[in-house]
Amino acid sequence: MNVSRRALALSVAFALCLAAVPAAAKELAGVTMPDTMTVAGKALKLNGIGLRKKAVFKVYVAGLYVEAPSKDAAAILAVDAPKALKMHFLRSVDKGKLVETFQEGFTANAPGKVGSQKANLDKLYATIVDVKEGSVTTYAYVPGTGTVVNRDGKDVATIEGKEFAETLFSLWLGPKPPSEDLQAGLLGR
């Protein structure tokens, strides 16, 4: 093999090795989200990452984790498979404001489910506390178990049912998300 063919073969081999390397973690607003997360023994992939802003304030960075990455919000909501949303807060937010924001989001994105999910929504609201800058809250749906609410590395509640998970994830993936940019980021657009 002459030198130019050997160089070409090495270049192709190097390119193939790089293509085999899994996607790296993503960073946004100083927050790095890992490329995978394990939920119920399954490795979920980072579907996308987005920034929640309110007026000029950066509130949190969120990462959406799913088994099969997709840009289709309805498909992600409908599939009965593990999924998780991780929120890393960039500023402190009091409980009252968080509960109010969730209530508005449910009314806008899942109005038909607010009544049937009242007991589960009340259970969710009971898990919400004042958050400090740097706090991390994760909502992880596990089929057959429910949605595990984890705050700063500690499980604080499990809320049963696929319908509740759909209702919860619709906050970010429904027709009226907190912001179009946040939803687009979570969907990897």
121, 106 contact by CB (below 8 A): yes
pLDDT tens-digit readout, 145-169: 999 999 999 999 999 999 999 999 9
Provide long-range contacts, Cβ within 8 A and 24+ apart, for 120-124.
120/159, 120/160, 120/161, 120/164, 120/167, 121/167, 123/157, 123/159, 124/149, 124/157, 124/159, 124/168
Q: pTM to 2 decimals?
A: 0.86
- Annotated domain spans of the chain: 23-186
**What is 23-186's CATH number, 3.10.450.40, 3.30.390.10, 3.40.462.40, 3.50.70.10?**
3.50.70.10
Would you state the structure tokens that stand for residue 73, as one six-digit string? 């919000």
How confident is the prediction along the chain (189 residues), in pLDDT tens digits per residue?
Answer: 444 443 333 333 333 333 333 446 899 999 999 999 999 899 999 999 999 998 889 999 999 999 999 999 999 999 999 999 999 999 999 999 999 999 999 999 999 999 999 999 999 999 999 999 999 999 999 999 999 999 999 999 999 999 999 999 999 999 999 999 999 999 998
